[in-house]
Amino acid sequence: MMNQNFQKLTKKQQERIVDYAEVVYTDLRSQIELWNRKRNNRNTVRGITHGNYDRIHTMSTPSGLVSKSAIETKLKNPEFVFTKDHAYRPQFVMQMFMDNTDTFLSDFNVFLEYIILASTTILITSKENDKLKSFTKNRNGEIIIKVPTDKIYKEAGIELLEVQQGRGWWKRDLKPADNYLPTPDLYLEYEKKFLVN
């Protein structure tokens, strides 16, 4: 099932994401043999995952969510620029693809669903983004996750609101949203390998 937020994008925005996804898909497929041969080499892992992370990072599928703190900051300072947090850890998603090529790199439609997930953004403050980043570490090529993705906003104490359409949307009363991130079971299961307490 295609992400509902993706469906809200313009046709041009959707095409851009699909085109970028095809580039990433093709690149990752071409790297399978190297990944399998040098999976424990941190330079190889970073080289493959980070380059494609950059491609995902240039995309954005708005989640329709904004932090309460970001709205409060915008109301005080109209020049404030929201930070777009890629809520589903794109570089981690690249590693998940490479460690599960039979699942993700054999069917472009399955891959696309997860690329859309990885490109999902939530509007927050840079301070909140720093807090969220602190829950994931990359030490010598090894990913360490302190909080499961579905609970990361809750753990950070970030209250979320629903974005409304139209100019000056941030000046309106916005409805509270759940700060639990809906996350596919397959993603959460893979993530367990990297969780630490």
Pairing assessment for the beta strands 120-124 and 61-67 based on DSSP bridges: parallel
pLDDT of residue 1: 39
Q: pLDDT by residue (tens digit) across 64-101? A: 899 999 999 999 999 999 999 999 998 899 999 999 99
Confidence of residue 2 (pLDDT cuts 50, 70, 90): very low
Asked which of 2-11, 93-102, 128-137 is least confident by mean pLDDT, the reply is 2-11
Residue range 149-170: mean pLDDT, rounded: 88
pTM over 0.75, yes/no: yes
